[in-house]
Amino acid sequence: MSEILQTCTIKVSFGDCDPAGIVYYPNHFRWFDATFHALLQRFGGHAAVSRKLGSIGIGLIEVGGAFRAPAEDGDALVLTARLVEWREKTLRIAYEGRIDDRLTVEGFEVRGLFIREDGQLRAGRMAPLREMLEAGAGTADA
């Protein structure tokens, strides 16, 4: 199995920063989400993947982050996502953000594949998503 990676470069702007001039921490979570969605674009995007899998969507169940160093206006943050743990009904994604060689943020998301079953919203099996992503495995930059 090939490792599935997605890398995005985020140009930090003034509007991403708080009054102290450093990135306002919730923006990191927005960028994690954008990097995951950039990975799905390789397969037609979130809506197309969800349709192919008969799901409502691939949603967040848990998220966390550790902020190692500040990012500021004008920085180019390189954010890398790795799909690190597949379970029956969840996927764990690890994120690492760097500015040059400096680690600035580490984080994770746990996502589920949501389906409707018997009129209820439920977590579906992740195997079909895993098979789809592994068939197109590799590294991509956005």
> Which burial class, exposed, middle or buried, applies to 109 when counting CB atoms under 10 A from its CB (0-12, 13-18, 19+)?
buried
Query: Could you tell me how far CA 86 lies from the centroid of its own chain?
Result: 14
The pLDDT score that the predictor gives to residue 139 is 64
| Domain membership of residue 14 as a residue range | 5-141
User: What is the domain-level CATH number for residue 74?
Assistant: 3.10.129.10
The pLDDT score that the predictor gives to residue 140 is 67
pTM of the model: 0.93
- Report the largest interatomic distance among the alpha carbons of the chain, rounded to a whole angstrom: 50
**Which residues are 14's β-sheet partners?**
none
Give, for all 142 residues of the chain, the pLDDT tens digit.
457 899 999 999 999 999 999 999 999 999 999 999 999 999 999 999 999 999 999 999 999 999 999 999 999 999 999 999 999 999 999 999 999 999 999 999 999 999 999 999 999 999 999 999 998 876 667 6
* CA–CA gap between residue 21 and residue 110 (Å, rounded): 30
Q: How many separate domains does the chain show?
A: 1
Packing angle between helix 26-41 and helix 46-53, nearest 10 degrees? 60
The torsion angles phi and psi of 19, rounded to 5 degrees, stand at -60, -20
Packing angle between helix 46-53 and helix 127-135, nearest 10 degrees? 120
Eight-state DSSP code of residue 56: S
